[in-house]
Structures are given as C-alpha cells and as structure tokens.
Amino acid sequence: MVLFFSPYIAAGGVLLILLLMCVVIVPQGYEYTLERFGRYIRTLQPGIHFIMPIVERIGAKVSLMETVLDVPSQDVITKDNAAVTVDGVVFFKVVEASKSAYKVANLQQAMLNLTMTNIRTVMGSMDLDELLSNREAINARLLVIVNGAAGHWGTQVTRIEIKDIRPPRDLVDSMARQMKAERDKRAAILEAEGEKQAQILRSEGAKRSMVLQAEGRLESAAKDAEARERLAKAEAVATKLLSEATRDGDAKALNYFVAQKYVEAITVLAQAPNQKVLLMPLDVANLAGTVTGITEIVKQTFSKGSGKQAPEKSVF
C-alpha cells in the first residue's frame, strides 16, 4: 500500500506544531525564565503566555513554594573543646526566579552547605552549657547569617531549627553527676538555712519566755512588797493602838493581842502536813483566862457603844 502526502497536509502539521510551541502555560506556584537566543530576557508569571518559537524558549522552571531541607548530622567542637553531634532543618523559598536560576548551579546543595558551615561556626563559638540552654538564640543567629548569604541567590530563608544536640555518653554521665551534686548542694544549703531559722526562732521564743517570766516575777515581787508594806502598816497601827491602851492602864488590849498571836501559832501547828499528833504543853487555866480576857474586851466595846459600864474582872 502506497501512502501519498500532500504538501498542504505537511504545511498544516508544521503550522500546528509552531502554534503549540507559541503557547506556554505557567502553573500556580511556579515562575519560568524566558530566553531569546540563549539570553535571559524576562520571567513568566503563572498563567498563559505566547512566545516566538525557535527564537525564544523556556530557560528554567522555578518553584516559588517553600522548601524543607534536612541538614544531616555533623560533629561540632564547642568553645570548651566538647564534641557534640548536631542536625537540623532549613525552610526556604525562592523570591526571584532569575537569580536562583542563573546565579547558583544547584540551589539546594548550596543552601545545605551554607547552613552546615554556619552551624559549625556559630555553635563552635559557644560553651557546651550555653549551647544546650540557648537553642533559640542559636536558631536566631543562624537565620540572620544564612538568610543574608542566600539573598544573593534570590532566596529567602524563613526558619532554621536545630533538631538535636547529642553530647558523648561519658559527657552526659558527667553532666548528670554534676547536676546531682549541685542539687544535693542546694538541698544541704536549704536544710542548713531551715535549721538556722528554726534555732533563731527557738532562741527568740526562749528569750521572750524568759522576759515574760522575769516581768511576772518583777510584778509579783512588787505586789508582795506592797502587801508586806500594807501588813507592816497595819501591824504598826495595831502596835500603836496597843501601846496607847497599855499606857492608859488598860491591860485587856494587851491580853487580846497575846491571845490572837497564841491562837495563830496553834493554827499554824495544826495545819502542818507532817503533824499527825499535836502535843500542846500549855496551861488550860491560862488559856481559859485568855479567852475570858477576849470576852471582856468585846463586852467593854459593846458597853461603850450602849453607854453602860461592864464590870471589870482580872484575866490573869
């Protein structure tokens, strides 16, 4: 079977191919670079575009979406000569397609090497304790440094995160012992401070108690002195009255005074706790006379009040 091709059909096919080559559709999230005779002329935004086939062609198809790049683990020597293993992650996106396409050959590889070298630089200038406790500060410093260098490639670094910092096992054990010793030290200090405070409080309590006791004894002594003074004054008055009565020739008052002291002495002997039997070597007749004298004094007192004179009797 022989096939015959018309020149019109061939021309139509070529024209259709040229028309298809003139139409370029850029999807959302991408930008295409357009070259004319191999030279960059402009950037095609998302949408439909028409170009001149053969003369113009698409140079690079650049994604504008944010890219996540894992930073592999690497060993870092800190300022105090401690070896740690570090890994991380970088988030970046292209903001100028032409720079990312024509100013760097492999953007992801360049970003990876740039991040790894700056991680060693930043973390190598810090002590191990500072390295473990200031991860946010490390991330911020890395972001500033890497973003400044990547801007020349039309790329913006949005975030850099250190995922893990792994010191050697022996160093971890030493840090654990150091932390335990520090906690034991703080516990001992707190316990000593508590004991000190307790002793101070106990001393202040004892001091306050002694002061109160001394004040109580002082007040009691003052009251006792006042009572003794009043008693002495009362006895002085009684003695004065007795002296006056005796001077006037009235012996009954003296008998009353002697009888009162006599009875008080017997009362004290009777109330003694170690006395089971009370021996009273006294003259009953004299005791009766004393009581008679007391009775006479009472009668005389009442007789003076009523205006009658009671008959005198000797009490001796």
Burial (Cβ within 10 Å: 0-12, 13-18, ≥19) of residue 70: exposed
Residues in the chain, pLDDT under 50: 1-3, 284-285, 302, 305-306, 308-316
For the segment 272-294, what is each residue's pLDDT rounded down to a tens digit? Answer: 666 555 555 555 445 555 556 55
User: What per-residue confidence (pLDDT) applies to 294?
Assistant: 55
For the segment 132-166, what is each residue's pLDDT rounded down to a tens digit? Answer: 888 899 999 999 999 999 999 999 999 999 998 88
Task: Tell me which DSSP letter residue 131 carries.
Answer: H
Report helix, strand or coil for 233.
Answer: helix
What's the CA gap between 89 and 69, in Å, rounded?
6
pTM (two decimals): 0.54
What's the CA gap between 107 and 114, in Å, rounded?
10
Question: Which residue stretches of 125-161 are H helix?
Answer: 128-133, 135-150
What's the CA gap between 157 and 163, in Å, rounded?
17
User: What per-residue confidence (pLDDT) applies to 291?
Assistant: 55
Contact 35, 56 (CB under 8 A): yes
What's the CA gap between 141 and 310, in Å, rounded?
125
Report helix, strand or coil for 307.
Answer: coil
